[in-house]
Structure 1
Amino acid sequence: MRKPLLVAVLALLPTPVLAATPPEGVPLEVRRGFFTEADIGTFFTLGGENIYSNAQTYLQLGVGYDLTDKVSLGVHFGLGASAANCFAGYLPDSDVCSMSDNFTVSFGDVTAAYMVPLAERLYLMPKVAAGLTRMDPAPVGSGDPGQSMTAPNAGLGIGIEYATPMDHFSVGADFMARYIIGPNISTFALFPRVKYTF
């Protein structure tokens, strides 16, 4: 008597399991929270004796956190270079720059972005950034031409981001303009982004 009852109970067990919503056909939710990103693009400066620098490779690494579905904060380290553009002026009767006309530019910035939905999983992202910039060797100043210099920077940017169907991964592209305060150098970076949200 107990055996047939046990068999009947075991036969009914899969029913609640099968009643659950199957994973197929359920849209993936955009993952939000702690993220890292890696970006490689191009970088140049404006101003100086040559009006603009030659385009150089730009590398940016960042970590951040999505505070809400629309607001994210991050810390980013960026590395670029200004090539063949003299900001300190030429030596008298010469086309030789009085300081270095080739220098690396390192950014350490805090960034904030606001995500504006354009379509499902696609966002327009206006951004602001502020932090410190290190230039090596110094492109302006009255000290030793071989020394580096540090100055604050502030910037604005615009980006686009798509949350891919691959869980955790988003891709996009950014255009960021920063102004280095003190030496008065305008910098621009254009780069694709790959973002991983944990």
Structure 2
Amino acid sequence: MKKPLLVAVLAMLPTTAFAATPPEGVPLEVRRGFFTEADIGAFFTLGGENIYSNAQTYLQLGVGYDVTDKLTLGVHFGLGSSAANCFAGYVPDSDVCSMSDNFTVAFADITAGYMVSLADRLYLVPKVAAGLTRLDPAPVGSGDPGAAMTAPNAGLGIGLEYATPMDHFSVGADFLARYLIGPNIPTFAIFPRVKYTF
């Protein structure tokens, strides 16, 4: 009597095993919500007496929120510098810039991006940015040559983002062009991105 019951239980074991989670696990969903990111890349400006500045290191830190699967909003703080490019013109009969030809550019921007799916977990992300910029020392103007200045900025960018199989982490690369309104200086930043979504 016990043998048929044991045989029936053993016969059902493979069915139970097949009903369990497959060995490969369940597909990992792309995490959305509150995120932070850290970016290090290159920064340069265009215009001025030398047409373009030497490329310098660019650092950007940000926090944001994925409002939907497509729309993302954030606040980003960026720091770069313009080197060896005179925007105020040279002192007459010399090659000395009348204002500083080397200056730090600090951004505080609100950004918005729209994620367009290119493939599974890979997105093209057009972006807009707007905020304030601090230039220290001021590269243009009629004030104290050693003083800093603040100017609004607006910009457009494009990026790629890949949601890695490591939960929480996305990586990517961005190109961001911003125009400093007032000093009339175009700036450009190219940087890889590392994003952590909580």
The CA deviation at 1:88 is 0.3
CA distance in 2, matches of 1:23, 1:135: 56
Aligned to 2:93: 93
The CA deviation at 1:16 is 8.7
Cα RMSD of the aligned pairs, angstroms, is: 1.5
Q: 3-state DSSP class of the match of 1:189? A: strand
Compute the TM-score of the two structures, normalised by the length of structure 2.
Answer: 0.90
1:88-167 matches, cutoff 5 A: 88-167=88-167
The one-letter code sitting in structure 2 at the alignment partner of 1:152 is: P
Aligned to 2:195: 195
The one-letter code sitting in structure 1 at the alignment partner of 2:138 is: A
1:1-198 matches, cutoff 5 A: 19=19, 21-22=21-22, 24-198=24-198
CA distance in 2, matches of 1:29, 1:59: 30
CA distance in 2, matches of 1:52, 1:88: 14
Q: 3-state DSSP class of the match of 2:125? A: strand
Deviations 1:114-168 (A, max 9, x none): 0000000000000000000000000000010000000000000000000000000
The CA deviation at 1:47 is 0.2
The one-letter code sitting in structure 2 at the alignment partner of 1:26 is: V
CA distance in 2, matches of 1:22, 1:62: 38
CA distance in 2, matches of 1:58, 1:133: 14
Tell me: CA distance 1:73–1:23, structure 2 relative to 1, closer, same or farther (3 Å).
farther
The CA deviation at 1:67 is 0.2
Between Structure 1 and Structure 2, how many residues are aligned? Answer: 184
The CA deviation at 1:21 is 3.5
Tell me: CA distance 1:174–1:92, structure 2 relative to 1, closer, same or farther (3 Å).
same
The CA deviation at 1:18 is 8.6
CA distance in 2, matches of 1:88, 1:110: 29
Compute the TM-score of the two structures, normalised by the length of structure 1.
Answer: 0.90
The one-letter code sitting in structure 2 at the alignment partner of 1:45 is: T
The CA deviation at 1:27 is 1.0
The CA deviation at 1:25 is 3.4
CA distance in 2, matches of 1:64, 1:156: 17
Q: 3-state DSSP class of the match of 1:30? A: coil
